[in-house]
Amino acid sequence: MTTPTTITDVSGYGWGDLTYRTSDSDYHYYTHSWDSTPFAHDVRVKFTTGTGYNEWSDGNASGDPSTIDDNADGYVYCYNSTPTLLIKFLKPTTASWISAATNVPYVTWYFPDFVCGQTTSVGVTHTVAQSSSTTYYVYELGVGQIGTIIVGTGAYPSTLGSGNFPFTISSRTIQVINPGGAVIGTKVFSCDTLGSGRKVHSNFW
């Protein structure tokens, strides 16, 4: 089933909302309730992947609208040749042809030009905003859990969660673990001697 079935027009011109009409091998077609065969006033969206995927365009060259602006501001603008704005609608972000985006949390390690005995920080960022906050766990191998990182909600990039952890011994391995128990980041810190310079080795996966 193709959804949405109705797309709200906010242009104020008076043509009214768009409704789903039909599909071919590449496009879904939307038109107005008053439009009839040969449906000269269609607009269409490409639902197959590749060039032009999820982009809106003119569905029938014989009638208006003649110019479609699939704009970066999130709206689709449909004009005639004058140009007069005939249709304006918010581009769907939830639709049958749009796959749900997958969140991929990634770890960022922050550290000043410290010597042993100072602190370092680690953060987690989500690639897709979540509807609720997520808690990640920070472990030191051989010691156990030393802290948590809470990533909040919000538009992408979502709120960065981070924590400060003391760097007080000559060598330590820190891991960040997701709520399911999987390791999403590891870093090995080492110092030549306490209170002196440091060497940092990193692993990410």
Residue 183 covered by a domain: yes
Burial of 193 (0-12, 13-18, 19+ CB in 10 A): exposed
Q: Where in the sequence is the domain holding 178, given as residue range(s)?
A: 106-204
Domain boundary (39, 64, 90) is at 90
Residue 76 covered by a domain: yes
Which amino acid, residue 12? G
Q: Examine the domain organization and report whether 112 and 178 are in the same domain.
A: yes
Q: Examine the domain organization and report whether 123 and 54 are in the same domain.
A: no
Please give the Cα distance from 157 to 175 (Å, whole number). Answer: 23
Please give the Cα distance from 174 to 202 (Å, whole number). Answer: 10
Q: Examine the domain organization and report whether 12 and 80 are in the same domain.
A: yes
pLDDT tens profile 52-99: 889 999 999 889 999 999 988 899 999 999 999 999 999 998 899 987
Rg (CA), the chain: 26
User: Where residue 125 sits, what CATH number does that domain have?
Assistant: 2.60.40.1930
User: Domain tally for the chain?
Assistant: 2
pLDDT tens profile 12-30: 999 999 999 999 999 999 9
